A and B are shown apart, each in its own frame.
Chain A
Amino acid sequence: MPALLMRDVRFKYRGAPDYALDGVSLDIEKGEFVTILGSNGSGKSTVCLLSDGLIPHAVPGSLEGRVEVFGEETSKRTVAELSTRVGIVFQEPESQLFCMSVEEEVAFGPENLGVPPHEIRERVEWALELVGMKGYNSRSPFSLSGGQKQRVAIAASLSMRPEMLVLDEPAYALDPVGRRELYSVLKDLKARFGMTVLLAERDCEEAAAFSDRLVLMKGGRVLESGPPRQVLRNPEKLRQVGIIPPQVSEIASILNSRLGKAEYSFLSVDEAEMAIADGLPAWRRGKLR
């Protein structure tokens, strides 16, 4: 049973002329980290809203096809029920934070579920530790940097102990350092807990290295889905759908074309460094011959 199952899903927002999703079939397995790549209007945010039941329960429109979360049809469950299984984090952390302290913020979800106080305390500590915000309990969320706010928003989702975490462009409002903090938390969630994660992004400079799968979307359809190495083999293809490819995959692609039949693919600076250090002496000798 997959964490998320979508079959022939079409969705049109009320009043919109076109379908936001136009026949999407997509499975996310338990423990999988999937990054959906798409530009504006690709449908990636709509997939996020479907996965936690905000569509069809809170967002008006017409929905066709089947959407299941852990084997249950989302249309037959309430948003409150689904919120214990799927946590969602949006672009702007400010839109999700409203409490006076970080601790209240993170405790808010489980309190509403009627979780006993001692367990709430445990969950809060666990979630804050996980996002690297231990000790910030009594700080006001509004005194934090963008990256810290977004990590608190993630902790507030995690304290509900969801089985799947959905993030819609979580780095949108962050500066490069905030971005780095955020992605190291996501990487950690996967490495330490094998958390099921659905990340919607407009580029994969960081996520390529630790995603199990990249899904390329455009115009409400899935164009390609596969391991990052396969999807990033041809960086030009990403540009054609409005995605700026990771610089390391551009380097690999240029190297391959200059070296003839080489088949390099780099997903991170570390990987590129090792492969280049390894191959470079031979490339340079080769040119002298």
Chain B
Amino acid sequence: MIPCTSAIPSQDKVISIKNLKFTYEGGVRALLDICLDIKYGDYLAIVGGNGSGKTTLAKTLNGLLRPSSGAVFVKGRPTTERRVSELARVVGYAFQNPDHQLFCSSVEEEVRFGPSNLGYSEEDVRQKAEQAIVGMNLSHLRGKPPLSLRLGERRRVSMASVMAMDPEVLILDEPTTGLDAEEVSELMRRLRRLNEEGKTIILITHDMRLVAEHAKRVVVMAQGRIVLDSDPRGAFTDIEVLRRSSLEPPAVTLLSHRLSKFEIPQDIISPEELVLHLLRSEGESK
């Protein structure tokens, strides 16, 4: 478990979580003493098995859930001191099931809903919605009822409606479930671009291949605690911690561990990289 180093929120971090505990009504203790600082512009993956607390943690970041004890600071202020609508301008959350947030009769209306509720001017709403619609490649679908679309498209609509509020932090809960290979790579390209433009991305998933290829930092959760916090390479070197957390490292990482006697590094995360090391000449340095 990663202990809290101090109870004082870090002012230079977009999100700072201090000794956060959360217990659901009925007594299920979903989060036990979470400490985590997230810096501006980070690309963070939160991974863990079903029931590890990933989604609960995400919902405390935008004020949907209030800490049972401890605190979540967003841009230096506790979430409990802000209205949810105010937090929505900073932290956007795209639900695991896009249908939980779609209810308007057209894509355009759906995407405008957020910014118009935040009190932006008519012109600002139009502009922000338009940007999100174009950004998520939904122009040709703008007049359609969201629930008539395919899953990949519905997911893009739900993301666009979050994007339209122009949050600094974007949380995506299992955004690739049910998507085709192509839709997954398209989505990941968009996220990378948003991250390059300065957005902080928080990706919740249990797909370790996705994490290996995209995240800058990996937080592993198990039974309501953070059990590992590292860069992707570091996260994949400890197979036992992953397995205990109901996760499975990518096949290429497993293979590089099994081939360690051939001086293959233990932190390989792509097939290309593995083959490069396999075909290295004798005596060649790593």
Residues of A within 8 A of B (CB): 39-41, 145-146, 172, 174-180, 202, 205, 238-239, 242-244, 246-248, 250-251, 254-255, 258-259, 269, 272-273, 276-277, 280, 283-285, 287-288
Contact = CB atoms under 8 A, between A and B. Distances in A.
B6 to A, nearest CB: 33
A220 B251 CA distance: 31
B248 A180 contact: yes
Interface in B179-213: 179-184, 206, 208-209
A174 B247 CA distance: 11
A241 to B, nearest CB: 8
A41 B150 contact: yes
A280 B280 CA distance: 10
Nearest to A174: B50
Given A239-B181, A255-B278, A280-B278, A246 B251 contact: yes
B182 A254 contact: no
B258 interface: yes
A288 B184 contact: no
Contact of A146 (B50, B258, B281, B282): B50
A242 B182 contact: yes
- Chain B interface category by residue count: 35 or more
Contacts of A177: 49, 243, 246-248
22 contacts: A40-B178, A145-B50, A175-B50, A175-B246, A176-B246, A176-B248, A177-B247, A205-B251, A247-B251, A250-B271, A251-B255, A254-B272, A254-B275, A272-B251, A272-B255, A273-B255, A273-B259, A276-B259, A283-B279, A284-B279, A284-B282, A285-B282
Contacts of A242: 180-183
Interface in B130-151: 150-151
Interface centre among A179, A251, A287 (most CB of B within 10 A): A251
Given A258-B275, A287-B281, A175 B247 contact: yes
A146 B49 CA distance: 10
A243 B181 contact: yes
A247 B207 CA distance: 13
Contacts of A272: 251, 255
B259 to A, nearest CB: 6
A269 B49 contact: no
B144 to A, nearest CB: 14
A39 B152 CA distance: 11
A172 to B, nearest CB: 8
Contacts of A172: 177-178
Contacts of B281: 284, 287-288
Report whether over half of chain A's contact residues are helix, strand or loop; otherwise say mixed: helix
7 smallest CB-CB distances across A and B, nearest first, come from A176-B248, A242-B180, A39-B180, A247-B251, A175-B49, A177-B246, A287-B281
B54 to A, nearest CB: 10
Nearest to B177: A172
Contacts of B258: 269, 273
A278 to B, nearest CB: 11
B282 A288 contact: yes
Nearest to A247: B251
Interface string B239-262: 000010011101110110011001
Interface string B101-145: 000000000000000000000000000000000000000000000
Nearest to A179: B248
Interface centre among A39, A41, A277 (most CB of B within 10 A): A39
Contacts of B274: 251
B223 to A, nearest CB: 12
Contacts of B177: 172
A251 to B, nearest CB: 5
